[in-house]
Structure 1
């Protein structure tokens, strides 16, 4: 196998010093235009590729940003990643996507690996935002920005007012005449789920004559939504909810499938509202009402906060950005 061309060979071919080639690679603006062109021609002819790992080792960090999400199969996080990557590209930065699968042990493994890789920073939707490892990372020099999760001041964060989202869903279902509502989501220790349930609970308590049933799931996916729907469909009609608020759209889509199998009509027998407003929501067999989160904007804003923190270093002051959700009403919860 032929050895890769070295920086010394590039310098010899271009007729310049090794230091000039190094300046071209790291501070091109200080190299004269004609010299830059000679070096670029030499690099192209020789097929030189600089050793990024060695450069990162010298600099102490890389141009890579870690993005740790709860469920890479959820299109919501795909949109978050799209927003983060779009800004990273503009700043000549690469995003490394990691999937925790809502598993704290797996999440910890990813955090360890990213720190060992000397990433520029980490964007994360954590299993537990109070995890001391997150503050420890920051203390050791790796900036951390929480995504879709509010921080208490120890980090920058971008989030959505999930309590408001729960209230929006609750008000809509109560206004359309429902007095027995099911909440499907979990685990209930997850902050987003707790906040969405809290918003719905506050709305139900204010109404006074509405019953709220909570059905906890371990994972917020289509399979779990379908299983919850099957259990609820088997309840006697007099006690069965007439509406369901699902903590994300994947649960809602599975719940919708269960209603079809059970012969229950949506929305006549069961109204359904999801959360996130992923693309599949509008394309469902019965178009799904959903509380919309600005997923791409969350990712892009998180990357912007990270770039600010890296640039400002010790002068940086953490910011918490909170977006407002919107309720998108479609056929799954329209008035029968």
Structure 2
């Protein structure tokens, strides 16, 4: 590895002069800075950030801790965050927990040991107490999910309203047997989406047995496939489905296509998230659109401000972005085609 000593020997100057030149010290002439930088580039010199941080320099790495990179919501968020961080001179590092609190803890320990500048986290359902302690020492915010032990800075979606609107759309079309396939209520997102589903049924004046909730792992395509298979075999099969995660939506759509179910003639479907392929799946999928760019930009701006101003205390901050109902051809009155 090329060091500042190698550059100094090549140019015949002191190591301290090389260090100051690379740090753009005003005591070093522009000519010397140019010679040092040119030699560093030619020799393939890379600054030792760990050593710089020991001397008091700050890290330019921000970590994004998420459950599952295969979920397109998280990959899209990561892409938008990376662009925003890059524009501010920061680099995004990705950590994947698989919704396991012990994996989450191991990642947070490693990130803390490497003194990342900040952390954006989609927390597990029950973060370990040591994870809570580690995050208290690092500028951080919660994304999508919110756990009270991790502070009061949170950027999320109005999950209750998003699912309420999605379900109300089906109620307005005359459906009285509606099934919700969603994530566990242990996750705050799962609890709010289920609450939105039930609110729409109540507001529509439907009896308690009009709605059926099937809850399971939100990242499981298999749960989506198995659930819809079981629902379709039921003598009182639902006439409409509303779905509570992107991965569950993908699993349900796979199963419906495999079974040749006619949508919306035999079954109306409202998905979650708006994948590029959803617009041309079957008759076009009616779905809940997510404000990905808005959330990513908001997270980046808040964290950049936090890192640059370094306030002594972080006051509570909450940003709730609305979802949108994207209406296409996969919903219609029971047993009929959309006019």
Same fold (TM over 0.5): yes
In 1, Cα distance between equivalents of 2:98 and 2:237: 32
Change over 3 Å in CA distance of 1:301–1:30 after alignment to 2: farther
Aligned partners of 1:242 and 1:269 also within 8 Å: yes
In structure 2, stretches of 5+ residues that fail to align are none
Partner of 2:292: 295
Query: In the alignment, does 2:141 pair up with 1:145?
Result: yes
Q: Is the 8 A contact 1:249 1:290 kept in 2?
A: no
Shift in Å at residue 24 of structure 1? 3.2
> Aligned pair in 2 of structure 1 residues 258, 32: CA closer, same or farther (>3 Å)?
same
Task: Specify the SS of the correspondent of 2:161.
Answer: helix
Answer whether contact 1:215 1:228 (CA < 8 A) is retained. Answer: yes
- Tell me how far 1:98 sits from its aligned partner: 1.3
Choose the corresponding residue for 1:50, options 35, 47, 55: 47
Task: Please report how far the alpha carbon of residue 129 of structure 1 lies from its aligned counterpart in structure 2 after TM superposition.
Answer: 7.1
Query: 1:256 deviation in Å?
Result: 2.3
CA deviation map 1:185-210 (0-9, x unaligned):
12221111111111111111111125
Asked if residue 107 in structure 1 is aligned to residue 104 in structure 2, the reply is: yes
- The aligned runs of 1:284-323 (5 Å cut-off) are 284-315=281-312, 316-323=314-321
Unaligned 5+ segments in structure 1 are none
**Distance (Å, rounded) in 1 between the aligned partners of 2:258 and 2:252:** 10
Higher mean Cα deviation, 189-198 or 48-57?
48-57
Does the CA contact (< 8 Å) of 2:68 and 2:219 recur in 1?
no
- For 1:162, which of 140, 152, 159 is the aligned residue? 159
Distance 1:328 1:89 in 2: 31
**Residue 130 of structure 1: how far off its partner (Å):** 6.7
Higher deviation after alignment, 126-135 or 182-191: 126-135
Residues 1:254 and 2:272 are matched in the alignment = no
Q: Distance in 2 between matches of 1:15 and 1:88?
A: 38
Which among 270, 275, 281 is matched to residue 273 of structure 1? 270
- TM-score, normalising length from structure 2? 0.88
| TM-score in terms of structure 1 length | 0.89
Number of aligned pairs? 330
Instruction: Point out the more displaced range, 251-260 or 112-121.
Output: 251-260
For the 8 Å contact 2:224–2:249, the answer to whether it is kept is yes
